[in-house]
Chains A and B, each alone.
Chain A
Amino acid sequence: MLQPYIPILIQFVIVAALGGIIIGASAFVGRKPRTREKLSPYECGSLPVGDSRGRFSISFYLVGMLFILFDVEAVFLYPWAVVYKELKWLGFIEMFVYILILLAGFLYVWKKGALDWTR
């Protein structure tokens, strides 16, 4: 039963080895005349100002949260879609109610302005 997954394991090992070799080789082969200025983070040629891991917009968190909600929804729809032809109208009504509830939540989020990036 797990046999189809063996090629994936082999592929994983091969790709991982290839990636490791490529990254390692380029780090090994290239020239390395290093100075402090060259190793400083890029900031348009001037000296870096302040901490580079500063605070950022709360909207990114919000998007992350909404993603979890709606992606779980999408994943729920997958098994339903696969067996949908056998469920017919029962499946339709059940999923209709489910999507309707989610749509209500979606409209609420929209109304609250969580989807507006510039606020």
Chain B
Amino acid sequence: MTTFSDTEFFLIETVIKIAIVMFVLLTAIAYLTWLERKVIAHIQSRWGPYLVGPHGLLQPLADGLKFMFKEDIAPLEVDSVVYWLAPFLAFLMAFLSIAVIPFGTSFTLAGHVIQLQITDLNVGLLFVFAVTSLGVYSVALAGWSSNSKYPLLGGLRSSAQMISYEISLSLGVIGVLMIAGTLSLRGIVDQQAGLWAHSGLFSLLPRWNFFLQPLGFLIYFTAAIAETNRIPFDLPEGETELVAGFHTEYSSFKFAIFFMSEYANMVTVSAIATLLFFGGWLGPSFGPYWLQVILPVFWFCLKLFCFLFFYIWVRGTLPRFRYDQLMAFGWKFLLPLGLLNILATSFIVAWVHS
């Protein structure tokens, strides 16, 4: 058996991890569309996809093939460089942010410790926010370059909405940072390990940040739904008024890519919510070594799934906001609430630690 040097091992390990994560993420996104159609259908007393494969399970595959072979139209007078760049940017930003998301603990293989995370940045959270917020460019550029009225309006609305809610998004998590004292996502999860021992009634609850920062969580998750342009904040795509918003003029796989990025962003913000507020991969862990490696990944995926289901549930339940209501809600309610939450948290943390 050949032995690798540390550098070689590091590179090979990274490429394998990226390949696995990308494969799982792309499959998850494909089946998320299936799940969404199925769940919404059942909410509305319909069957949903049923023809392609058992229970429509091959539907995502069929959709993908169809997207691939559809006619690829770029309308006349589009700003061609920007028009092609926009979906590319959306894809890039959506799938790059997954690199710092930890999805399990670590295990040892041939003397090397392998962390279940592509890379553990010490500024992981900032990296995610920085990259996901660059996604605004794809929306704004897609709307602008299409040379059509609906995409322009959709792109403008969308970028205004995304930047408005981004402030609340970043303010919502500051409480957690004060408690954790680190920006590394792995560090934040490690700090939530264990139970609330010696606190009477609550001593059986896990030490998740959610119980310390319920308001912060609500602010974060509301803003996250708006950031990913989902119902009830899906004004950019409000099909009753804007046809399809910023991607009206996109067809075939360019159109699919905007959807894939939206779903990838949903996965990312849900993963952040899981890691920051619900203890990430922490959960009961027992049994032999391999089980202790797999169980945390299972808990992480379970929590993630709950969030994604919640997204779909919200879509099946709520109507769409009006645009002025949306802006008022973001600026006049979530933003002051976020600041208030920071002030209250900082007061309590200073009180406890002195």
- A complexed with B: yes
- Chain A interface residues toward B at CB < 8 A: 3-8, 10-12, 14-16, 18-20, 22-23, 25-27, 29-34, 36, 38-43, 48, 52-54, 56, 59-60, 63-64, 66-67, 70-71, 74-75, 77-78, 81-85, 88-89, 91-92, 95-96, 99, 102-103, 106, 110, 115-118
Instruction: Give A95 Cβ to nearest chain B Cβ, in Å.
Output: 6
Instruction: Give A68 Cβ to nearest chain B Cβ, in Å.
Output: 9
**Alpha-carbon gap, A116 to B177, bound state (A):** 32
Interface size grouping (class) on chain B: 35 or more
A63 touches B327 (CB 8 A): yes
B121 touches A53 (CB 8 A): no
Instruction: Give B61 Cβ to nearest chain A Cβ, in Å.
Output: 15
B18 surroundings in chain A (CB, below 8 A): 7, 10-11, 14
B181 touches A99 (CB 8 A): no
A106 touches B119 (CB 8 A): no
**Alpha-carbon gap, A20 to B92, bound state (A):** 10
B328 touches A116 (CB 8 A): yes
| B182 touches A (CB below 8 Å) | yes
A95 surroundings in chain B (CB, below 8 A): 346
Contacting chain A: which of B34-42, B65-73, B287-295? Answer: B65-73
Residue of B nearest to A1 (CB): B122
A8 touches B119 (CB 8 A): yes
Further 4 A-B residue pairs, CB within 8 A, beyond A12-B96, A14-B19, A63-B163: A78-B126, A81-B175, A110-B332, A118-B324
| B134 touches A (CB below 8 Å) | no
B147 surroundings in chain A (CB, below 8 A): 41, 52-53
Please judge, given known A-B contacts A26-B67, A115-B327, whether A39 and B119 are in contact too, CB under 8 Å: no
B248 touches A19 (CB 8 A): no
Instruction: Give A83 Cβ to nearest chain B Cβ, in Å.
Output: 7
A83 touches B181 (CB 8 A): yes
**Alpha-carbon gap, A96 to B98, bound state (A):** 34
Question: Which 6 pairs, one residue from A and one from B, show the smallest C-beta to C-beta distance?
Answer: A26-B253, A41-B148, A117-B324, A81-B177, A7-B119, A19-B91
B354 surroundings in chain A (CB, below 8 A): 88-89
A-B contact pairs, 5 of them (CB 8 A): A23-B84, A27-B72, A30-B70, A43-B149, A70-B167
Which residues 135-181 of B sit at the A interface, judged by CB distance below 8 A? 144, 146-150, 152-153, 156, 159-160, 163-164, 166-167, 170-171, 174-175, 177-178, 181
B323 touches A56 (CB 8 A): no
**Alpha-carbon gap, A85 to B348, bound state (A):** 11
A38 surroundings in chain B (CB, below 8 A): 73
| B311 touches A (CB below 8 Å) | no
Contacting chain A: which of B200-208, B277-285, B302-310, B334-342? Answer: B334-342
Residue of B nearest to A19 (CB): B91
A70 touches B88 (CB 8 A): no
**Alpha-carbon gap, A6 to B166, bound state (A):** 28
Instruction: Give B65 Cβ to nearest chain A Cβ, in Å.
Output: 10
Please judge, given known A-B contacts A4-B120, A25-B68, A32-B72, whether A48 and B343 are in contact too, CB under 8 Å: no
A106 touches B257 (CB 8 A): no
B116 surroundings in chain A (CB, below 8 A): none
A77 touches B328 (CB 8 A): no
A78 touches B174 (CB 8 A): yes
Which residues 33-85 of B sit at the A interface, judged by CB distance below 8 A? 67-77, 84
A54 touches B177 (CB 8 A): no
Residue of B nearest to A67 (CB): B163
Which of A11, A27, A71 contacts B163 (CB under 8 A)? A71
Residue of B nearest to A20 (CB): B88
B182 surroundings in chain A (CB, below 8 A): 82
A92 surroundings in chain B (CB, below 8 A): 346-347, 350
| B183 touches A (CB below 8 Å) | yes
A52 surroundings in chain B (CB, below 8 A): 147-149, 152
A3 surroundings in chain B (CB, below 8 A): 10
A26 touches B68 (CB 8 A): yes
B160 touches A81 (CB 8 A): no
Instruction: Give A23 Cβ to nearest chain B Cβ, in Å.
Output: 6
B335 touches A78 (CB 8 A): no
